[in-house]
Structure 1
């Protein structure tokens, strides 16, 4: 069989500058079609890219065919993932957190946490310059996109900084992981022109109809109720809009019919529109 490839896309592994012996990240790049604007292309940096990069690239490419109709212009899609052979769950738990989560004591989770600062520094100091050397990017139109635990990191980065993005899109963010830190971050961000989009699926706090008959339904329902993903995202968005003030733009959307996994493709188009809006 002949493999299918993503048009105008490539990948390479990249380690931090000066990080002797540091493990690299796998970087995916989808080049936008056409000539770059005078200021350079906008860019969306996508976390967990091993799973979502190809879909995001196709959403951009399809939308960019008719930007006046879709609100999606040619945009560089920069995915950040991990090489084959790495334990992605272990590495993402470290990269996307500032410390242990709220459920660590209850579950006895042994994964390392706390890599947030080093990960965001890698994006700002190593990855962004590398991508800017490969195609012209507009530094004033760059966005960070993350889902689930990566969504928690996006919220934290929006409030505390660390990677110089104009817009932040958090899809199904795990607010429960460390809500206290996010709330503390609101005070740090007050008065800044934060641009934050928070999206969550209708069926992330309760069982979807098609899940009710699964053998693990009771366990799933208990976990979803405990984590309260919908309430957590909605309440945090409302609090952020109130506390950050009129300089900020905070958008919230409850996406009908979607659960924690199915929300991603639909959220990608919305993320591009949010990132590209003036």
Structure 2
């Protein structure tokens, strides 16, 4: 068997300078000469699941940037080493505390949000800057689901960390009160925020209605109200962040919580890489 490789891409494990568990970092290097200010950088969370797809979407778009609105960028994926419990680690990294449903039943630790952001800011970003010419003024954070909650929380409370924020199917229900309260925080510059959610994230899709677990699924979706919360939060963010902020909400037809991720990637990159 000849394995398929992703050209101009690599991975390495990186731990905080003070010690602790490592994250697996995936790095896709852009092609061609860097702009005078350096390449834009997109930091992708949950990278074990979608880094290769995200990179290929960027590279395919960059072939005809005048048509796609997507140019060359550094893609930095943040994931976890093989053999670790990825669900447990992401529940810790992406949250500031237990969620509205009891922290995934109480079996997983929560509250690692500050330490995870510190790793990105103090360890990961300097490492990438040593590897490649990057533009610190054109950096984007991209997160899906619970990582989308983290993305919104960083945007609201630590808006200096990135210029652009893309939250796909954000789990706002996890701690909506904290996200709303964070919008009142002072910030040096208004952020650019894109929120995307699938049409079938709050109600059952036609292909799910006949499944044995349809009743339980419908109740959970109604309780979490993914579409309504995403729409309402986007409207509130546009009002609270002021006229200088760019806030975009998009309801993606035909997608649910799982299928939306690849469908959202090109739109996310176009938003993040716009001049």
Q: TM-score, normalised by structure 2?
A: 0.97
Q: Is contact 2:199–2:253 with CA below 8 Å preserved after alignment? A: yes
CA distance in 2 between partners of 1:158 and 1:189 (Å):
11
Counterpart position of 2:181: 184
For 1:63, the equivalent position in structure 2 comes to 61
- Deviation track 1:39-76 (CA, whole Å, cap 9, x = no partner) reads 11101000000001010000001000000000000011
Q: State the match for 1:8 in structure 2.
A: 8
Structure 1 residues without counterparts, runs of 5 or longer: none
Residue 35 of structure 1, CA deviation: 1.0
1:69-113 deviations in whole A, cap 9, x for unaligned?
A: 0000001110000000110000000000000000007x6322110
Moved over 3 A (4+): 189-192
Instruction: Describe the shift of the 1:42–1:167 C-alpha distance in structure 2 as closer, same or farther (beyond 3 A).
Output: same
Aligned positions of 1:114-125 closer than 5 A = 114-125=111-122
Structure 2 CA distance for aligned equivalents of residues 162 and 257 of structure 1:
32
Alignment of 1:224-243 (within 5 A): 224-243=221-240
**Aligned mates of 1:23, 1:85 — CA distance in 2:** 13
What TM-score do you get using the length of structure 1 for normalisation?
0.96
CA distance in 2, matches of 1:192, 1:8: 34
- How do residues 143-154 of structure 1 correspond to structure 2 at under 5 angstroms? 143-154=140-151
Alignment pair present for 1:159 and 2:156? yes
- Alignment counterpart, residue 79 of structure 1, candidates 77, 80, 98: 77
Residue 104 of structure 1: aligned partner? 102
Decide whether aligned partners of structure 1 residues 211 and 189 sit closer, same or farther in structure 2, where only a CA change above 3 A counts: farther
- More displaced stretch, 190-199 vs 221-230: 190-199
Structure 1 residue 134 displacement after superposition = 1.0
Residue from 78, 82, 90 that aligns with 1:92:
90
Q: Give the Cα–Cα distance (whole angstroms) in 1 for the partners of residues 273 and 55 of structure 2.
A: 15
Do the aligned residues in 1 keep the contact of 2:159 with 2:187 (CA within 8 Å)? no
CA distance in structure 2 between the aligned counterparts of 1:138 and 1:80, rounded to whole angstroms: 19
CA-CA distance at 1:191 after TM superposition: 7.6
Q: CA RMSD in A?
A: 1.3
